[in-house]
Chains A and B, each alone.
Chain A
Amino acid sequence: MAGEGTSTTTVNTLDRREVVARILEQRGNALLVAGLGSPCWDAAAAGDDPRNFYVWGAMGGAAMIGLGLALAQPSRRVLVITGDGEMLMGLGSLATIAVQRPANLSVVVIDNEHYGETGMQATHTHSGVDLAGMAAAAGFPYTAIVDEEDALDSLIPGLYLNNAPTLAAVKVAARSHPTVLPPRDGTYLKNRFQEAVLGTTAFE
């Protein structure tokens, strides 16, 4: 699925803000877990929503939060949008998710090949580590590397429709954007998410 088209350069040109905005435009009633750092700012820039759970810490945990949520809400689509550094810290979770095989969980790695919050040091993906390949090897039936517009367009519907675990590494430019801060109080984020998903009965 990756790279069919005209791109012949190794310089990634997709803009992360536009990628995340385009993915979330089509979310419908999907639930979102955003991994720490830029994916949180990207999701907030696309429009804050009570169905967004922004993970301000817990590095390496975003995909597993997604798994627990997907198992608890099998009738809802769960989308995890996280960074390459965050995903690299939780590689074992790819195996754990693949074994559970949730039908409603998709993971999008916004892969700029750098640690954007700490000085743009290169991550392992910059040296060729292939997160989509690792997910496929773990047993994810749907994986993709996306590095241009047309492939992104064809990727998005499957994020919401595929009936088995999906992981897409979307290669984006290592470019900084203005930080857009979502709410950051953990209990507030948790409570408003639960109210949006479960109603006020969650607090009885």
Chain B
Amino acid sequence: MGNHDIKSEIAWPADIFRVLKDTDIRQAAYVPDAGHSRLIELCQADEQIRAVPLTTEEEGVAQLAGAWLGGERGVLLMQSSGAGNCINMLAMVRECRFPLLMLITMRGEWGEFNPWQVPMGQNIVRILESVGVIVHRVDDSSRLAETVNAAARLAFGTSRAVAVVISQRIIGFKDWNTVRQEH
């Protein structure tokens, strides 16, 4: 495994969560990802946030459009492969200029072992940008909270879709690779 700062690995989901609270996020839609597991738990435990598990990620894009129509802010949590599921729904976001905050944990890049993750992981940023999503990429966990804060301000302040792409380098690959390497 990489030379991760263990302390920051533990801290960053809580840092992001504080930003989401400060942003008055009320709906957190998600398809589970190992990298988001702690943040999902924090959202589930919060009484002001409705945590909504999805069967597929584009449901969350539609849900958060509805949330905004009703005056609530939301966040969509997913991994890079799931972002690919969202493309046509993102066309609505663009056409209607819905604000949308997405936090995307990356697969298919830093130390990936599963080749099937690579095609989406290597292309999702340009795919998202091509459908009008503004992408902030973060490789350093110490920059995550400020980036999510900036993304939220941009999304809700200017009615744009903004994705924070969280590098696999931050999440670490020990959860998958150390297990695999033992076999």
Residue A53, interface by CB 8 Å: yes
Residues of A within 8 A of B96 (CB): 186-187, 189-190
Contact residues of A between 38 and 93, Cβ < 8 Å to B? 53, 55-62, 64-73, 76, 90, 92-93
Chain A: interface residue total (CB-CB under 8 A): 38
Q: Can you name 17 A-B pairs with beta carbons within 8 Å?
A: A58-B65, A61-B89, A64-B59, A65-B62, A69-B66, A69-B70, A70-B70, A71-B26, A71-B67, A72-B70, A72-B71, A90-B62, A93-B59, A186-B92, A197-B70, A198-B70, A198-B71
Of A3-11, A15-23, A95-103, the one contacting chain B is A95-103
User: Is the Cβ of B56 less than 8 Å from the Cβ of A92?
Assistant: yes
Q: Mark each residue of chain A from 162 to 186: 1 if its CB lies under 8 Å from any CB of chain B, else 0.
A: 0000000000000000000000001
Chain B: interface residue total (CB-CB under 8 A): 32
Nearest Cβ in chain A — how far from B1, in angstroms? 35
Considering the chains assembled together, what is the distance between the CA atoms of A85 and B74 in angstroms? 28
Say what secondary structure dominates the interface of chain B: helix
Nearest Cβ in chain B — how far from A9, in angstroms? 36
Given A187-B97, A190-B97, is A96 in contact with B62 using a C-beta cutoff of 8 Å? no
Q: Which of A55, A57, A96 meets B53, CB within 8 Å?
A: A96
Q: Please give the residue numbers on chain B whose beta carbons come within 8 Å of chain A beta carbons, in ascending order.
A: 26-27, 50, 52-56, 58-72, 74, 88-89, 91-92, 95-98
User: Is the Cβ of A202 less than 8 Å from the Cβ of B62?
Assistant: no
Closest A residue to B90 by beta carbon equals A58
Closest A residue to B66 by beta carbon equals A68
Q: Mark each residue of chain A from 118 to 153: 1 if its CB lies under 8 Å from any CB of chain B, else 0.
A: 000000000000000000000000000000000000
Residue A33, interface by CB 8 Å: yes
Considering the chains assembled together, what is the distance between the CA atoms of A68 and B76 in angstroms? 12
Considering the chains assembled together, what is the distance between the CA atoms of A71 and B74 in angstroms? 11
Residues of A within 8 A of B59 (CB): 61, 64, 90, 92-93, 96
Considering the chains assembled together, what is the distance between the CA atoms of A71 and B89 in angstroms? 20
User: Is the Cβ of A71 less than 8 Å from the Cβ of B54?
Assistant: no
Residues of A within 8 A of B56 (CB): 92
Nearest Cβ in chain A — how far from B48, in angstroms? 12
User: Is the Cβ of B55 less than 8 Å from the Cβ of A92?
Assistant: yes
Residue A115, interface by CB 8 Å: no
Closest B residue to A74 by beta carbon equals B70
Given A71-B72, A72-B26, A190-B96, is A61 in contact with B58 using a C-beta cutoff of 8 Å? yes
